């Protein structure tokens, strides 16, 4: 069978639409340059050093060498590697070589080739030629700091993953199965699941310190504990569980809703107890879903930077270790790059497992809607403990959030609990307004670009056929699995000296533009996802008919597609704004003193122990984010069309069904 004609025709049709070709080209370039390229740079950095050292053993003594080189006016540096002395020279003319030790990428790794004891003096000469070697990986795996960070990260991920999944399951189960005094409970559930969305990443860490730290309101004032230590694993785990469980709750709720109650009723009929039904019917059905929730949380936890930074104490994770390597004194680029690669491979691998294996399994086991509503459980022996647990957890979460505004209003947390605006005044004095302005403007610029880009990507992916579509979809969704810290390091490696270290686009580095680009990259996957699912709801014939009536793809997009997914576009706008203004992990590595950002300032003040100012920042930030979300909801309520569209679609389907039934009846 011949297919060449079709391929040729499709190609001609494709190229007859320059707008689309151009947009696709721009998208591909954007994704390559700002997602793939930095990661690729990290990857090469971890295995390739642009310059290297050749190490030799010579028979002269150090003093002889120094004297010789001093005569010729050449420089000699004395390095200490692993308690051995190495002389770094410009060349080795005039010295007697006794042994060639080999090459190494940096002085950090020199110890590896100095294992053997040989007579004479060790000297190193810097070469211009690059060195390709896998040295960095065994090196970091031998590095105690890294190994501890690695086990810490995995351990934390496990605890947080399981914890968030369980709390999420509790909430979802109570929401779907248990009869509650619904109004209050419902409201509480809504609040609890919204809070983590509106809050900047480290707000919970902050209030954890305020409430349960050394000077904690609860620990010291109420319980009289003077040596409470929230820093460390338990602190981060609690904070992360509270941050991530609402996501699990929403995911699992969706699943539980889809379980057909008749399955459980059948089991009840045969005499099984509630607990038995839960363990033999509900739980097995949920298993892939629980695995999914666990993995999503695990990835989030592993990628989290802000909380371990603030409340981790000495419990370093990969993200914080990489950050410290980059910003700290020992500038081991290759090591940091290798660590980033380890972290990246971990998240990407789990993400792919989650996305392509578990997600399909989840939907496979639970297909179709429940046929009718479920009879809620009313026995007090079940409802009482479960609702109490939920209420306690919610109260705890709400308490944590309430602590922040109070933290900003109390004169001196731990000592003087009288109200004052002094922290706000201090905030304004310390360039606070500039921080708000910068954060606001940068996020404000990033939002429409991201929203538009993600809608365009969604449109292309769902409605168009072209070469490279798989690439665009994969990369823009994959960005979700890239931890912010890794992206930040990638951007440093990739752009600090221009693209491929050629100086091209070097001006970008250190500007607001690169911050905006990071915001875009960080939010693009979320927007694209929501755009894709919105577009899948729209019957292809609607766009086809516009196309058929003479509209080019640009016109179809602006006059039909975009208005139909207005809601998704707008929520992309606000989501990007919220995510950007609360972002820290990648940004903290890239921001220059020219820009003050709210989040980095909160981090600074909290590190210094100025919790009052940090709380003042956080309070205002929460207020901004919350208003943005309010505006979005208002907009969707009054201007949203999607509901109308969905109804129209349902209408058509309904009528079609009726018509075909009627035909069958005839």
Partner 1 sequence: MSNKKGVKLQSVSKIYEDPKTKKPFYAVKDISLDIQPGAFVTLLGPSGCGKTTTLRMIAGFESPDSGEIYLGGEAINALTPNKRDTAMVFQSYALFPHYNVFDNVAYGLKLRKMTKDEIHRKVMDILELVEMTGMESRMTNQLSGGQQQRVALARALVVEPSVLLFDEPLSNLDAKLRVTMRTEIRRIQQTLGITAVYVTHDQSEAMSLSDQIIIMYKGEIAQMGTPREIYYQPSDEFVADFIGEANFINGRIKEIKGDNCLMEIAGHTLTLPSPKKHPVGSSCRMVARPEAVLIGKEGVLPCRVTLSCFMGAYHFYHVMLEDTLIKITDYCPVNKHTFQAGDEAWLHFEDNCVHIL
* Interface ranges with partner 1 (CB under 8 A): 1-3, 5-6, 9-10, 12-13, 16-17, 539, 541-542, 544-552, 555, 559-560, 563-564, 641, 644-645, 647-648, 651-652, 655-656, 658-660, 662-663, 666
Q: Which is nearer to partner 1, 9 or 496 (CB)?
A: 9
Long-range contacts of 81-86 (CB under 8 A, 24+ apart): 81/107, 81/110, 81/111, 81/114, 82/110, 82/111, 82/114, 84/111, 84/114, 84/122, 85/121, 85/122, 86/55, 86/110, 86/114, 86/122, 86/123, 86/124
What is the smallest separation between the CB atom of 636 and partner 1, expressed in angstroms?
A: 14
Q: How many CB atoms lie within 10 A of CB 150?
A: 21
What is the smallest separation between the CB atom of 108 and partner 1, expressed in angstroms?
A: 52
**Dihedral, CA atoms, 334, 338, 340, 342, nearest 10 degrees?**
180
Q: Which is nearer to partner 1, 183 or 662 (CB)?
A: 662
Q: How many CB atoms lie within 10 A of CB 231?
A: 19
What's the CA gap between 660 and 224, in Å, rounded?
Answer: 74
Contact call for residues 157 and 302 (beta carbons, < 8 A): yes
Contact call for residues 482 and 584 (beta carbons, < 8 A): no
What is the smallest separation between the CB atom of 363 and partner 1, expressed in angstroms?
A: 18
What's the CA gap between 133 and 301, in Å, rounded?
Answer: 31
The beta strands (E) that lie in 398-537 are given as: 410-412, 416-419
Q: Which is nearer to partner 1, 431 or 658 (CB)?
A: 658
Q: How many CB atoms lie within 10 A of CB 531?
A: 26
Q: Which is nearer to partner 1, 283 or 652 (CB)?
A: 652
What is the smallest separation between the CB atom of 365 and partner 1, expressed in angstroms?
A: 21
Q: Which is nearer to partner 1, 81 or 564 (CB)?
A: 564
What's the CA gap between 152 and 346, in Å, rounded?
Answer: 14
Q: Which is nearer to partner 1, 114 or 560 (CB)?
A: 560
Q: Which is nearer to partner 1, 327 or 533 (CB)?
A: 533
Q: Which is nearer to partner 1, 327 or 653 (CB)?
A: 653
What is the smallest separation between the CB atom of 474 and partner 1, expressed in angstroms?
A: 21
- Grouping H, G, I as helix, E, B as strand and the rest as coil, residue 125 is strand
Q: Which is nearer to partner 1, 369 or 662 (CB)?
A: 662
What is the smallest separation between the CB atom of 546 and partner 1, expressed in angstroms?
A: 7
Q: Which is nearer to partner 1, 411 or 555 (CB)?
A: 555
Q: Which is nearer to partner 1, 78 or 652 (CB)?
A: 652
What's the CA gap between 604 and 327, in Å, rounded?
Answer: 14
Residues 6+ apart with CB under 8 A from 113: 55, 101, 102, 104
Phi, psi of 433 (to 5 degrees): -65, -40
What is the smallest separation between the CB atom of 547 and partner 1, expressed in angstroms?
A: 5
- Grouping H, G, I as helix, E, B as strand and the rest as coil, residue 551 is coil
What is the smallest separation between the CB atom of 557 and partner 1, expressed in angstroms?
A: 13
169, with CB counted inside 10 A (0-12, 13-18, 19+), is buried
What's the CA gap between 303 and 346, in Å, rounded?
Answer: 10
Q: Which is nearer to partner 1, 5 or 367 (CB)?
A: 5
What's the CA gap between 223 and 306, in Å, rounded?
Answer: 28
Contact call for residues 297 and 164 (beta carbons, < 8 A): yes
What is the smallest separation between the CB atom of 14 and partner 1, expressed in angstroms?
A: 9
What's the CA gap between 313 and 242, in Å, rounded?
Answer: 19
The beta strands (E) that lie in 495-534 are given as: none
What is the smallest separation between the CB atom of 461 and partner 1, expressed in angstroms?
A: 18
What is the smallest separation between the CB atom of 453 and partner 1, expressed in angstroms?
A: 22
What is the smallest separation between the CB atom of 43 and partner 1, expressed in angstroms?
A: 34
Burial letters 368-393, b for 16+ CB under 10 A, else e: eebeeebeebeeeebbeebbeebeeb
């Amino acid at each position: 069978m011949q297919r060449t004609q079709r391929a040729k025709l499709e190609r001609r049709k494709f190229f007859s639409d320059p707008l689309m070709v151009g947009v696709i080209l721009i998208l591909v370039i954007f994704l390559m340059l700002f997602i793939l390229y930095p990661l690729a740079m990290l990857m090469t950095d971890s295995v390739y050093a642009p310059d290297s050292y050749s190490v030799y053993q010579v028979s002269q003594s150090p003093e002889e060498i120094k004297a010789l080189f001093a005569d010729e006016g050449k420089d000699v540096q004395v390095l200490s590697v692993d308690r051995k002395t190495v002389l770094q020279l410009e060349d080795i003319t005039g010295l007697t070589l006794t042994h060639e030790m080999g090459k190494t990428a940096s002085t950090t790794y020199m110890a590896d080739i100095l294992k053997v004891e040989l007579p004479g003096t060790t000297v190193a000469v810097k070469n211009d030629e690059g060195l390709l070697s896998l040295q960095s990986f065994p090196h970091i795996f031998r590095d105690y700091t890294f190994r501890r960070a690695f086990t810490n990260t995995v351990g934390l991920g496990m605890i947080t993953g399981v914890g968030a999944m369980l709390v999420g399951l509790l909430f979802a189960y109570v929401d779907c199965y248990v009869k509650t005094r619904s109004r209050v409970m419902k409201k509480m559930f809504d609040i609890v699941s919204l809070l983590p969305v509106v809050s900047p990443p480290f707000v919970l860490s902050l209030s954890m310190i305020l409430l349960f730290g050394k000077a904690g309101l609860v620990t010291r004032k109420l319980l009289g504990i003077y040596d409470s230590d929230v820093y460390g694993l338990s602190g981060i785990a609690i904070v992360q569980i509270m941050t991530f469980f609402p996501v699990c709750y929403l995911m699992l709720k969706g699943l539980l809703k889809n379980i057909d109650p008749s399955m459980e009723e059948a089991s009840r009929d045969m005499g099984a107890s509630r607990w038995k039904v839960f363990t033999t019917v509900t739980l097995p059905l949920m298993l892939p879903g629980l695995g999914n929730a666990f993995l999503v949380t695990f990835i989030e936890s592993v990628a989290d930077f802000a909380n371990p930074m603030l409340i981790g104490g000495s419990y370093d994770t990969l993200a914080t270790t990489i950050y410290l390597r980059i910003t700290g004194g020992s500038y081991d680029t290759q090591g940091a790059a290798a660590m980033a690669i380890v972290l990246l491979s971990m998240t990407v691998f789990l993400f792919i497992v989650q996305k392509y294996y578990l997600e399909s399994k989840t939907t496979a086991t639970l297909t179709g809607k429940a046929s009718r509503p479920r009879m809620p459980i009313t026995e007090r022996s079940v409802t009482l403990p479960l609702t109490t647990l939920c209420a306690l957890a919610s109260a705890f979460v709400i308490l944590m959030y309430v602590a922040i505004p109070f933290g900003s209003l109390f004169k001196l947390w731990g000592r003087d609990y009288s109200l004052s605006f002094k922290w706000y005044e201090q905030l304004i004095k310390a360039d606070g307004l500039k921080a708000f302005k910068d954060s606001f403007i940068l996020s404000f610029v990033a939002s429409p670009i991201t929203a538009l880009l993600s809608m365009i990507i969604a449109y292309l992916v769902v409605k168009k056929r072209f070469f490279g579509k798989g690439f665009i979809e994969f990369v823009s969704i994959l960005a979700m699995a890239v931890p912010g810290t890794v992206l930040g390091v990638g951007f440093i490696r990739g752009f600090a000296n221009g693209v491929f270290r050629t100086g091209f686009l070097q001006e970008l580095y250190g500007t607001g533009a690169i911050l905006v680009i990071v915001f875009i990259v960080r939010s693009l996957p979320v927007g694209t996802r929501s755009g894709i699912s919105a577009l899948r709801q729209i019957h292809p014939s609607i766009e086809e008919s516009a196309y058929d009536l003479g509209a080019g793809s640009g016109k179809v997009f602006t006059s039909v597609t975009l208005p139909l997914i207005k809601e998704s576009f707008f929520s992309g706008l606000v989501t990007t704004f919220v995510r950007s203004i609360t972002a820290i992990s990648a940004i903290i590595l890239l921001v220059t003193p020219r820009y003050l950002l709210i989040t980095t300032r909160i981090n600074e003040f909290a590190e210094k122990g100025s919790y009052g100012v940090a709380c003042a920042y956080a309070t205002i930030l929460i207020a901004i984010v919350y208003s943005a979300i309010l505006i979005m909801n208002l907009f969707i309520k009054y201007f949203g069309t999607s509901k109308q569209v969905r109804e129209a679609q349902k209408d058509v389907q309904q009528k079609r069904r009726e018509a075909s039934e009627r035909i069958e009846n005839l």
